[in-house]
A and B are shown apart, each in its own frame.
Chain A
Amino acid sequence: MPLRDLYLLSPEISIVGVAFIIIMLDLWIERKGLLPILTIVLLGLPLGFTISLWGTEEQAFDGVLVVDTFSIFFKVLLIGVVTAVVIASQETAARFRRFQGEYYGLLLMATAGLMLMAATRELITIYLSLELSTLSAIALVAFFKDTRSTESGLKYLVLSGVSSAIMLYGMAMVLGVTGTSSLVEIAKAAPVSSLADNPALLLGVVFIVAGFGFKIASFPFQMWVPDVYQGAPTPVTAYLSVASKAAGFAVLLRVFYLAFGDFSSDWSMLFGVLAVISMSLGNFAAIFQTDIKRLLAYSTIAHAGYILIGLAAVASRVPGGEAFGPQGVLFYLTAYAFTNLGAFFVVIAIANKIGSETIDDFAGMSKRSPLLAGLLALCLVSLIGVPPAVGFWAKLYLFNAAVQADMVWLAIAGAINTAISAFYYLRVIKVMYLSPAPTEERVRLTPPIGLAVAMTTTGVLFFGIAPWFLLDFAIRATSGFPG
């Protein structure tokens, strides 16, 4: 039934439609300040469609598009993230003389790609949606057109090109071995019970991990992260660190549980090793950073490592039981979205005023703006994983999943890394609270970015005190998860 199919695709259709409307309106509207407001109002449309689909378990377009609670969970998360980023972008975008409409349009296009990534069961569509989001993101990274931004754009482009070529090679191998591009059919057609028995399939799986590893910023495709995060406009950095990671993990979960679920004992160890390397590498490199954006970039790599624990802990699912691993991943991604967006928004609010992103320039921020310093401290504490912030519960669930899956070494590695990470997060807090301020000049919070900061930090505190609201959604989203 084609009309029903279109309705199931309506969140993506409407968000692309909104993107086009914003780009068109940019040509007529003189007061560019209206554009973000219109974007946020119109974003209610895809959000409404998405929420109206909650509870449906259907497929459309011959099983290419799948609408289930899992994909809707991610769609709501992604629309929420893009809304917050649009609010926080206002001051940054106001600095462009032209192309403000394109800026918001590209953000929405990237979101459309990521939403589709979370909602598909077919290799060609995975590739296309991945490229839709990546190409939009590249254009956004290079949006400032100065030397730094261009350099970031080039690095992002080359590395994304290489990683997607490697991923495609892997997909071609899988397609050759199984003769189909549908994830469900791949699981049925896989000729062997262990990856070690079929080198072509093994090569395919490893190469596909490489492609998604780029999206989630995990080892061995992490080297683009610091440079791109530093050079890109800060709201875009915030968006990339949260949204593309979330969708990347959604598609990883989907591909590996659905298509390669029979080989879980093979890839669970692979993800476990990647998790440990990612978090150690990210945490150690972050210790030496002087730029707050680079620090958060390395912390992003470390967090990709923590979340990979949830993928490695696949054995925590007993048949008919709860899927602790995927639940933990979904919970962590949401918690991380609130926390990391909050941290980045505070950095934007401060950097817009003091014109610097060096950690030392944040000295004495507790005097210059007690509120902003306190909120940044809250977000950093949540990134460490200290109660009552939401980051504590997120880490707890993931480490619990590792223990349930008899991978205690993974939980221990995570705990050690958490201790290491506390060092550099706390250093930022120390500089803000204990170092003397260079000037007494106050740093004021302006309304649009203040709203974005308030939204995210409220989430950090609220879900930190009452995590079961979020956990309930995560459990429901993974309940129909293929075991």
Chain B
Amino acid sequence: MIELEYVLFLSAVLFSLGLFGVLARRNAVMILLAIELMLNAVNINLVAFTVYLSPDLLVGIIFAIFIITVAAAELALALAIVLRLYRTRSSVNVDEVNLMRW
């Protein structure tokens, strides 16, 4: 079986990629996908901890299921807002979303 360290490393890489995507991408939809990547990195972590460390306690897996559900709800809301953004500006580029600046 693969060592736990490798799984954690994979999830850390995914999480970092997601964070990078949020910061670097300019398309609102791609930013949302990057957030999903971060959440799924967490899910990998949770499932890995459960499988490797405490197979008889399912709390990690239950947590992961809740995260998937909430992420779906969040994405539905997000897409509604992105759609509204597209209707008002005919673009989903976040560089143009800059009415308010300090």
A161 x B35 contact (CB < 8 A): yes
Identify whether the interface residues of B are mostly helix, strand, loop, or mixed.
Answer: helix
Docked-complex contact B38 and A157, CB < 8 angstroms:
no
Contact B81 A138 (CB under 8 A): yes
Q: Which residues from chain A sit less than 8 Å from chain B, CB to CB?
A: 123-124, 127-128, 131, 135, 138-139, 142, 145-148, 150-155, 157-158, 161-162, 165-166, 168-169, 171-173, 175-176, 179-181, 226-227, 230-231, 285, 288-289, 294
Which chain A residue has the least Cβ–Cβ distance from B23? Answer: A162
For this complex, 16 residue pairs linking A to B, each with C-beta atoms less than 8 Å apart, are A127-B63, A131-B73, A148-B100, A152-B100, A154-B81, A154-B82, A162-B19, A162-B35, A168-B67, A172-B63, A175-B49, A175-B63, A176-B46, A176-B60, A179-B53, A231-B99
* Min CB–CB distance B64 → chain A (angstroms): 9
Given A139-B77, A153-B84, A175-B63, 5 other A-B residues pairs in contact with their CB atoms under 8 A = A127-B67, A145-B84, A151-B97, A158-B28, A179-B53
Closest 7 CB pairs of A and B: A176-B49, A165-B38, A161-B35, A172-B45, A168-B42, A227-B100, A179-B54
Minimum Cβ distance to chain A for residue B21 (Å): 10
With contact pairs A124-B59, A124-B63, A135-B74 given, residues A175 and B46 touching in the complex (Cβ less than 8 Å): yes
Name A's interface SS: helix
Contact with A along B62-102 (1 / 0, CB 8 A): 11001100100110011001101100110000100101101
A-side contacts of B60, CB under 8 Å: 172, 175-176
Is the CB–CB distance between B102 and A226 below 8 Å? yes
* Complexed CA–CA distance, A135 and B81 (Å): 12
Bound-state Cα–Cα, A333 to B67, Å: 30
Q: Which residues of A contact B67 (CB under 8 A)?
A: 127, 168
Which of B49, B59, B66, B97 is close to A154, meaning CB atoms less than 8 Å apart? B97
> CB-CB < 8 A to B66: which residues of A?
124, 127-128
> Which among B60, B67, B81 has the greatest number of chain A C-beta atoms within 10 A?
B81
- The residues of B that contact A230 with a CB separation of less than 8 Å are 100
- Check if A176 sits within 8 Å of B35, measured CB to CB: no
Complex Cα gap A161–B29 (Å): 13
Known: A124-B63, A127-B66, A161-B74. A150 touches B88 (CB 8 A): yes
In whole angstroms, what is the CA distance A155 to B22 when docked?
Answer: 12
Which residue of A has the minimal Cβ distance to B60? A175
Given the complex of chains A and B, what is the CA–CA distance between A351 and B78 in angstroms?
A: 30
Contacts of B74 in A (CB 8 A): 131, 135, 157, 161
Instruction: From the candidates B22, B57, B73, name the one contacting A158 in the complex (CB within 8 A).
Output: B22
Asked whether, in the complex, the Cβ of A148 is within 8 Å of the Cβ of B99, the reply is yes
Residues of A within 8 A of B77 (CB): 135, 138-139, 157
- The interface residues of chain A lying within 8 Å CB-to-CB of B38 are 162, 165-166, 169
CB–CB B84/A142 < 8 A: yes
Interface residue from A124, A166, A173 paired with B45 (Cβ < 8 Å) = A173
CB pair A176 B97 closer than 8 Å: no
Contact B53 A176 (CB under 8 A): yes
Smallest Cβ distance from B82 to chain A, in angstroms? 7
